[in-house]
Structure 1
Amino acid sequence: MDACFGESRPIIEIPARIAPDQLEALKEQCDRVISEMGGEYALNMEGVEDIYSATLALIMHVYKVAMRMRSTLVIIHASERARNALRALKIDEKIRIYPSLLDYELACFGAATMSV
């Protein structure tokens, strides 16, 4: 696993499309993962091109739960189109967004090196 997450830091997969009737079940799954593990989480948005209301609702739900649990949340594998939509919605002001896991790792490595 990567340097920033390690084996105990989960990556939560966001489906490419979320049907409105799937949303509550996905929220409950995310709640269980966050409440059991704590720490830092990544939302993997690989395959997500468009941000629909159910996707946005899930992202914001996970963000709120993570903040309540004093956890950290980032978004990885966000396509350019998804990043643009998230920026337009100002989600990037609350959650750091990375185009790939490598970009996230490099940011972690850079922060760790600068703080030494």
Structure 2
Amino acid sequence: MSEEVMEQIKQQIENNSVLLFMKGSPRMPQCGFSSRAVQVLSACGERFAYVDVLAHPDIRANLPKYANWPTFPQLWVGGELVGGSDIISDLYEQGELQKMVKAASDSAEA
């Protein structure tokens, strides 16, 4: 694992209150799971940052080790890993994701 890449991942997570590591971009997701994650996050009504792991193979290779989570997408809220597409969809349906995203967004603006 590259120390520089690990530091870059850490900085991205710390500097973005809501961050989605995904395949593709919100406008052009490159897999169904990333597409679903973008739909759910967009429905929360708050802005979020993203990293296209297909455009950054070093991040794609190292993030699963950093996060101890093997798949993409990965949603990070307030510096904590929330999970992948299924988890965030379930949290959204329960009304929890909206609260988490709003709280993280509000604290970032304060």
Larger radius of gyration: 1
- Normalising by structure 2, we get a TM-score of 0.31
Q: Which has the higher contact order (CA 8 A, sep 6+)?
A: 2
- Normalising by structure 1, we get a TM-score of 0.30
